[in-house]
RNA sequence: GGCCCCAUGGUCAAGCGGCUAAGACGUCGCCCUCUCAAGGCGAAAUCAGGGGUUCGAUUCCCCUUGGGGCUACCA
């Protein structure tokens, strides 16, 4: 694995947003490139004309950029082996297809969907593997002419040699052997002239001088087809490494019903790129030390395919939350604020420009150690914004109905009025004095004040809450709550 | 159905013939504490089953079971 500069690639199909599994593949490749001083190439595999879209391509690129996984070569940035969009490389594939056709390693197939469907059905009835049996393998020129006259548009199939072992030396799985007899002649160019995945991917990886193909395990079974194409073309294949799949809680492949599956959704929920990446890195890869929290730079230093796991990994949101929380804690006040702002605005807690920025920064900072991701911020700081509130429940209200409560509040108000600047220290002193003068247990003092100020029985420390609220708001809230108790 | 991959606590996982089988998340308990968290300390919890190989298997081989992937003119 430590063999000099690597040229790796991420080659998504633009058929939807960037999936969490794709993001992990991109990360692994990116890390490999950075660690070896090599190149990370971004290629777009848009040969599925029906499902591909430019919107999805943009979404994927944006997600990659947001994650900080920039590419050295590829779409948008260019490079010596472009173009990097497969539909723009049709002429290139045609050249190789002609070679294959001329040497008899590929042939035209005029079968219709119905015919193929029928073949599959009868094979599976006989409990045989449904695969193309080679009906058009040896068509004469006259046969082909006849079909063409009928207006049939041929696909091009690769002639898979019989009785051959196709060996894949996988970087994570070791040697995997396939029997060529189990692989039917597969289509390399569809009847509309567009190559299929297994064909285009092989040619592109070779032409783009990719040294290592690291991708999800779902591609392992396709690899022998690609190896066959390389053999047919007389090209040396790249090295392959198939990383285990990411599974949902029920151990099936991650899909919508498992919750958020796209990077975009995690971004929206306010996860940090560094947190998401850290979590993804630990799915299907590990290192022998005990460290769990890594920055991207640290990962570059220690990542290697040697420690890639073979067994599939279940996506555990709890762990993601914990890891992301660790990254949140390392944020500066300013960075945390930037992250919080859209969630604050979106929650309807505040309007743009309604509060002083410096105050907001401080308020948001109080949530830092208590949240896992951005969307959790509003409910943690809500208390600073709502001067009018209802009691959380009866138990909460009961705190203020207690005999000693009214006196505590009066005394508290008096002290607030007399107090100078409210800081953590001065508030601490103020409350201590309050406890002393009232002669009550601490709890009988703190709780009424807390509830009077927020309507809740729990929340941030009073030494945090009171200075941030400030004298004016406090008096306002006291008045409000007294009115509430009477009414 | 065929082919391929995989198998250590609930989850991520270390382990690479001999260990009291790491660590983390989560769970539970205790401490801290005005509350909720956070934090600190501690606990419970794993080698799928069966055969081999070996002085000795979590580790190597085979079978079974279980999970997953592929089997498209999708990627």
Task: Please give the distance of CA A227 from its chain centroid, rounded to a whole number.
Answer: 30
What secondary structure does DSSP assign to A160-211, as a single string?
PPSS-EEEEEETTTEEEEEEGGGS---EEE-TTSPBPHHHHHHHHHHHTT--
Task: Please give the distance of CA A170 from its chain centroid, rounded to a whole number.
Answer: 25
Report the alpha-carbon distance of residue A329 to residue A404 in Å, rounded: 39
The pairing of strands A165-170 and A155-158 is unpaired
- pLDDT computed for residue A3 by the predictor: 60
- Distance from first CA to last CA of chain A, Å, rounded? 74
Helix (H) or strand (E) holding A343: helix A333-347
Q: For B23, which residue's CA is nearest its C1'? A: A290
Report the alpha-carbon distance of residue A236 to residue A233 in Å, rounded: 9
Q: Which of A175, A230, A177 is nearest to A199 (CA)?
A: A230
- The CA distances from residue A440 to A108, A290, A435, A444, A448, in Å, are 93, 48, 6, 6, 12
Report the alpha-carbon distance of residue A198 to residue A177 in Å, rounded: 18
* CA of A245: nucleotide with nearest C1': B68
CB A226 within 8 A of CB A186: no
Query: CA of A204 and C1' of B56: distance in angstroms?
Result: 52
Active site residue A256: yes
Report the alpha-carbon distance of residue A158 to residue A294 in Å, rounded: 46
Helix (H) or strand (E) holding A324: helix A317-329
* CA of A250: nucleotide with nearest C1': B67
- pLDDT computed for residue A290 by the predictor: 86
Q: Which of A362, A364, A361 is nearest to A377 (CA)?
A: A364
- The CA distances from residue A120 to A124, A127, A185, A186, A191, in Å, are 6, 10, 13, 14, 19
Q: Is the pTM of this model over 0.90?
A: yes
Query: CA of A286 and C1' of B18: distance in angstroms?
Result: 26
Secondary structure tally for chain A: helices H, strands E: 19, 12
- The CA distances from residue A368 to A311, A371, A424, in Å, are 35, 6, 17
Report the alpha-carbon distance of residue A190 to residue A180 in Å, rounded: 22
- pLDDT computed for residue A1 by the predictor: 44
- Whether omega before A11 lies within 30 degrees of 0, making that bond cis, reads no
Number of residues that make up chain A: 487
Q: What is the pLDDT along chain A (487 residues), one digit of tens a residue?
A: 446 899 999 999 999 999 999 999 999 999 999 999 999 999 999 999 999 999 999 999 999 999 999 999 999 999 999 899 999 999 999 999 999 999 999 999 999 988 888 888 887 777 777 788 888 999 999 999 999 999 999 999 999 999 999 999 999 999 999 999 989 999 999 999 999 999 999 999 999 999 999 999 999 999 999 999 999 999 999 999 999 999 998 888 887 778 789 999 999 999 999 999 999 999 999 988 889 999 999 999 999 999 999 999 999 999 999 999 999 999 999 999 999 999 999 999 999 999 999 999 999 999 999 999 999 999 999 999 999 898 888 889 999 999 999 999 999 999 999 988 999 999 999 999 999 999 999 899 999 999 999 999 989 999 999 999 999 999 999 999 999 888 7
DSSP code at position A269: T
Query: CA of A459 and C1' of B35: distance in angstroms?
Result: 6
Neighbours of A479 (CB within 10 A): 12
Q: For B74, which residue's CA is nearest its C1'? A: A48
Give the sign of the dihedral formed by CA A266, CA A271, CA A277, CA A281: negative
Report the alpha-carbon distance of residue A79 to residue A208 in Å, rounded: 10
Report the alpha-carbon distance of residue A10 to residue A80 in Å, rounded: 17
CB A372 within 8 A of CB A318: no
The pairing of strands A174-179 and A165-170 is antiparallel
Query: CA of A137 and C1' of B44: distance in angstroms?
Result: 65
Q: List all nucleotides in chain B with at least one atom under 7 A from a protein Cβ.
A: 1-8, 10-15, 22-26, 33-38, 67-75
In Å, the largest CA–CA distance within chain A is: 109
Query: CA of A362 and C1' of B40: distance in angstroms?
Result: 27
Q: Which of A212, A211, A185, A180 is nearest to A198 (CA)?
A: A185
Q: Where are the beta strands (DSSP E) in A254-333?
A: 313-314
CB A43 within 8 A of CB A74: yes
* CA of A177: nucleotide with nearest C1': B4
Task: Please give the distance of CA A79 from its chain centroid, rounded to a whole number.
Answer: 26
Which of A153, A239, A256, A268 does the annotation list as catalytic?
A: A256
């Amino acid at each position: 694995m430590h063999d000099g500069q690597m040229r790796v690639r991420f080659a998504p199909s633009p058929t939807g947003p960037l999936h969490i599994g794709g993001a992990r593949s991109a990360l692994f490749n990116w890390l490999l490139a950075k660690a070896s001083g090599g190149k990370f190439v971004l290629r777009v595999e848009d040969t599925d004309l029906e499902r591909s879209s430019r919107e999805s391509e943009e979404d994927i690129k944006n997600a990659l950029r947001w994650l900080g996984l920039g590419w050295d070569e590829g779409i948008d940035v260019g490079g010596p082996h472009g173009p990097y969009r497969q539909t723009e490389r049709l002429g290139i594939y045609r050249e190789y297809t002609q070679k294959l056709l001329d040497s008899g390693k590929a042939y035209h197939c005029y079968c219709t969907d119905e015919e193929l469907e029928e073949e599959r059905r009868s094979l599976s009835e006989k409990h045989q593997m449904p695969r193309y049996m080679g009906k058009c393998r040896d068509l004469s020129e006259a046969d082909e002419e006849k079909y063409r006259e009928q207006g049939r548009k041929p696909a091009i199939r690769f002639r898979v040699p019989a009785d051959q072992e196709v060996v894949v030396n996988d970087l994570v799985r070791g040697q995997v052997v396939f029997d060529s007899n189990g692989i039917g002649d597969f289509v390399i160019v569809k009847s509309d002239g567009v190559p299929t995945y297994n064909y285009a991917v092989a040619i592109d990886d070779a032409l783009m001088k990719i040294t290592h193909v690291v991708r999800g395990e779902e591609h392992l079974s396709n690899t022998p087809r690609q190896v066959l194409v390389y053999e047919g073309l007389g090209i040396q294949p790249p090295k392959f490494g198939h990383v285990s799949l990411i599974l949902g809680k029920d151990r099936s492949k991650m899909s919508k019903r498992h919750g958020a599956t796209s990077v975009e959704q995690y971004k929206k929920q306010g996860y940090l790129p560094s947190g998401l990446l850290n979590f993804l890195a630990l799915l299907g890869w590990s290192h022998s030390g005990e460290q769990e929290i890594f920055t991207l730079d640290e990962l570059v230093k220690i990542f290697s395919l040697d420690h890639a796991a073979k067994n599939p990994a279940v996506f555990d949101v709890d762990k993601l939350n914990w890891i992301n929380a660790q990254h949140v804690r390392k944020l500066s006040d300013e960075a945390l604020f930037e992250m919080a702002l859209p969630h604050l605005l979106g929650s309807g807690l505040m309007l743009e420009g309604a509060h002083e920025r410096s105050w907001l920064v401080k308020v948001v900072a109080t949530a830092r150690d208590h949240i896992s991701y951005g969307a959790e911020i509003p409910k943690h700081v809500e208390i600073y914004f709502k001067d009018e509130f209802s009691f959380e429940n009866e138990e909460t209200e009961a705190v203020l109905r207690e005999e000693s409560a009214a006196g505590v509040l009066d005394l508290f108000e008096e002290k607030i009025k007399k107090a100078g600047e409210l800081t953590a220290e001065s508030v601490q002193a103020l409350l201590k004095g309050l406890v002393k003068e009232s002669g009550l247990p601490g709890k009988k003092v703190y709780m009424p004040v807390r509830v009077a100020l927020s309507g809740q029985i729990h929340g941030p420390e009073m030494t945090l809450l009171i200075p941030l609220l400030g004298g004016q708001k406090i008096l306002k809230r006291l008045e409000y709550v007294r009115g509430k108790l009477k009414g």
